[in-house]
Amino acid sequence: MEFFSVFIGGFIGAVPNLLFWMAAIILAAIVLRRGGGRAERFIIAGASLGLLSSLLGIPAAAIVPWLVQEGAAIADGSSVAFIYGMARDVISMAGIICLVYGFWVKFKMENEPFPPQGTI
Please, where are the H alpha helices in 34-115?
Answer: 38-57, 63-69, 74-110
Helix or strand or coil: residue 79?
Answer: helix
Q: What is the pLDDT of residue 36?
A: 80
Q: Residue 92 pLDDT > 60, yes or no?
A: yes
Q: Residue 83: which of 54, 55, 56 has the closest Cα?
A: 56
pTM over 0.75: yes
- Note the pLDDT tens digit of each residue in 9-62: 888 888 999 999 999 999 999 998 988 888 899 999 999 999 999 999 888 888
Burial class (CB in 10 A: 0-12, 13-18, 19+), 46: buried
Q: What is the pLDDT of residue 117?
A: 64
Specify whether the backbone of 71 is left (phi greater than 0), alpha (psi in -120 to 50) or beta. left
- Note the pLDDT tens digit of each residue in 61-91: 888 888 888 888 888 888 999 999 999 999 9
